[in-house]
Structure 1
């Protein structure tokens, strides 16, 4: 019975479930930002910056937007998907969201540049896999993941640059 209710919920209460999906993603971002804020104020400021590193103020608006897009994408998949395909897609989404949080913890919280590079490479793979799974259910959802994939690709370049320079 729970799976029937779960699959009908985004159709019966679309605005509430959409807001919930976006809020969940934003909360992951806010939780990870605790590590980021601490690191940016101290350790990160001492690092030699790679070329193309944007000013710190850019990251907040970009990540807020990306988390909102991720929430909409997950909601579309939840709304349109069924059965095993839905469980796999949302499971992969959960993995990439956990890796997203883990990167902030490792890079900023632990001040581990190489560890952050390992995590962000796993994250990049997980985003690609999630996007592929989303494509099979709702192409709009997959397209909403593309800016996130692009930004994390850029962040991977930055993380690698920090590792090389520091």
Structure 2
């Protein structure tokens, strides 16, 4: 469990560091939709989600190990990589359209990962549902920000 938590904390820390580079200046100047949540909400939500992602991966690892679940864990690693890449694209590169492309692919991979994990451990799959829902919302938000500012 500790390894899965450390992995998620590293991703969270790098993503947070990149986000911090422009959240108070560039991002603050963007037009945002009425459903844009306050900035303070993102940190607590992502903290819970990263914990659930780690717990989900750990449960599948307990059931199958990485060697016996290569495809689900490859997908797990890929969606976490795209999760981190989004921060670099949206905030680091200040490119909402590139972020939108990334997050759409990310959402699809999360849903597939959720389904694969559910076949191994139902609870592990269910633990990824809040992640999919939040990224679904973030996809709408990213799309709206791109639309309003292009």
Tell me if both proteins adopt one fold, taking TM over 0.5 as the criterion: yes
Residue 132 (structure 1) shift: 1.1
Of 62-71 and 19-28, deviating more is: 19-28
Q: Which residue of 1 is the match for residue 18 of structure 2?
A: 35
Please report the TM-score for the alignment, with normalisation by the length of structure 2: 0.96
Secondary structure of 1:164's counterpart equals helix
Secondary structure of 1:41's counterpart equals coil
- 2:95 equivalent to 1:112: yes
Structure 1: gaps (5+ residues): 1-17
Structure 2: gaps (5+ residues): none
For residues 85-100 of structure 1, the aligned pairs below 5 Å read 86-100=69-83
Please report the TM-score for the alignment, with normalisation by the length of structure 1: 0.87
2:123 aligned residue (108, 124, 140): 140
For residues 9-20 of structure 1, the aligned pairs below 5 Å read 18-20=1-3
Separation in 2, partners of 1:83, 1:26? 20
Q: Which residue of 2 is the match for residue 81 of structure 1?
A: 64
1:58 aligned residue (33, 36, 41): 41
Q: Which residue of 2 is the match for residue 48 of structure 1?
A: 31
Separation in 2, partners of 1:73, 1:23? 14
Separation in 2, partners of 1:62, 1:83? 28
Separation in 1, partners of 2:41, 2:55? 22
Separation in 1, partners of 2:66, 2:99? 34
